[in-house]
């Protein structure tokens, strides 16, 4: 069995988790680097939360080697707990206590916590510190969960879908919080359904599909995104229809859709294509190309394409 090295905050080698015949996590290998925000993406039931639960010592693994801040999470030493912050996926309910009481109560469990007021301001609950926790809106309760998870000033933070149910303003406040910890050199593992969130915050991402790691790369390279061609497309006017296309940069592929009379050029040099295409259109007397689009594949398209890929290792 391969052994996980201890240099990274999180090192996983050959991690598997079975529930009877169900293989929830299958042979995942992964390193998360110090100081980065690492996004864990994947559809519902893919095994993201099971993986996070194993890394945070909530569940036991079936096989594989896991090192989190140099420890096996299954041992769960208290000194190690103090260095880790966890915001679980399920929301907590804190009955009969005010927001402030909840957070300062959790702060008392840590050797060097952040100030309660500071954490409440960070999650945008500063004005609500006297409110009963159960009287908060759903989104505010989620923010309280985040406050509870990070009040210990952790070195390594696990956020399992922290912004689900938050409005756009609250989501951005949560992003600021992630950046604030990242700026202090802390490491964050972020599980999310929102690809824009991953794109906004994370340097690298892993995509988990069916319990396997289907991709693991910097976000700009995820799923071969950096090598994927750009699509330049436009509709042909009558004036353009009779003219042959100009000489395009080498390697450009041309496709034509007859029903919409749309031309699509697939290229790795979109600027080069446009620099010959626009003079060509002007000469044809159609200086505005109808429905001109330059389209780079979005993270979402890449992500959706990844669903069938095979397992990779993430160094």
**Chain residues that interact with another protein, rule: CB under 8 A:** 6-9, 34, 56, 58-59, 67, 69-71, 78-79, 81-84, 86, 88, 90-97, 101, 104-106, 108-112, 114, 118, 121-122, 124, 126, 148-149, 152, 155, 173, 176-177, 180, 183-186
CB of 121 to another protein, least distance (A): 4
* Shortest reach from residue 89's CB to another protein, in Å: 10
Q: How many residues does the chain have?
A: 315
When the beta carbons of 113 and 223 are compared against another protein, the nearer one is 113
Q: How far apart are the first and last CA of the chain?
A: 17
Shortest Å, Cβ 35 to another protein: 9
Judged by CB, which is closer to another protein: 93, or 304?
Answer: 93
Whether the CB-CB separation of 120 and 129 falls below 8 Å is answered with yes
Question: Using an 8 Å Cβ cutoff, are 39 and 10 in contact?
Answer: no
Cβ 196 to another protein shortest distance, Å: 20
Considering beta carbons, is residue 203 or 262 the nearer one to another protein? 203
CA distance 99 to 125: 8
DSSP 8-state symbol, 304: H
Neighbouring residues of 58: CB distance < 8 A, sequence distance ≥ 6? 88
Nearer to another protein, 117 or 291 (CB): 117
Closest CA relative to residue 71, chosen from 59, 57, 52 = 57
For another protein, give the closer residue by CB, 121 or 269. Answer: 121
Angle of helix 99-107 versus helix 138-150 axis, rounded to 10: 20
Measured CA to CA, the distance from residue 76 to residue 211 in angstroms comes to 24
Q: How far is the CB of 47 from another protein (least distance, A)?
A: 17
């Amino acid at each position: 069995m391969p052994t996980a090295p201890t240099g990274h905050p999180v090192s996983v080698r050959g991690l598997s988790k079975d529930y009877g015949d169900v293989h929830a996590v299958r042979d995942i290998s992964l390193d998360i680097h110090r100081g980065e925000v690492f996004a864990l993406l994947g559809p519902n039931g893919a095994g993201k939360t099971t993986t996070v639960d194993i890394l945070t010592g909530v569940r036991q693994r079936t096989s594989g080697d896991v090192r989190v801040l140099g420890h096996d999470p299954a041992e769960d030493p208290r000194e190690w707990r103090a260095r880790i912050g966890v915001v679980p996926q399920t929301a907590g309910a804190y009955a009969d206590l005010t927001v402030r009481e909840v957070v300062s109560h959790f702060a008392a469990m840590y050797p060097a916590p952040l100030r309660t007021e500071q954490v409440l301001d960070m999650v945008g609950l500063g004005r609500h510190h006297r409110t009963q926790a159960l009287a908060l809106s759903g989104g505010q309760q989620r923010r309280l969960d985040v406050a509870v998870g990070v009040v210990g000033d952790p070195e390594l933070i696990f956020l399992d879908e922290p912004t689900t149910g938050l409005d756009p303003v609250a989501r951005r406040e949560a992003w600021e919080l992630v950046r604030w910890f990242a700026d202090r050199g802390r490491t964050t593992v972020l599980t999310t359904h929102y690809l824009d969130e991953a794109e906004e915050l994370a340097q690298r991402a892993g995509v988990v599909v069916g319990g396997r790691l289907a991709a693991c790369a910097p976000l700009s390279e995820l799923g071969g995104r950096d090598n994927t061609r750009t699509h330049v497309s436009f509709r042909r006017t009558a004036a353009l229809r009779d003219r042959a296309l100009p000489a395009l940069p080498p390697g450009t592929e041309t496709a034509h859709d007859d029903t919409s009379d749309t031309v699509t050029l697939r290229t790795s040099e979109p600027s080069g294509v446009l620099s010959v295409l626009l003079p060509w259109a002007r000469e044809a007397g159609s200086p505005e190309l109808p429905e001109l689009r330059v389209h780079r594949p979005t993270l979402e398209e890449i992500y959706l394409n990844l669903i069938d890929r095979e397992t990779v290792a993430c160094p």
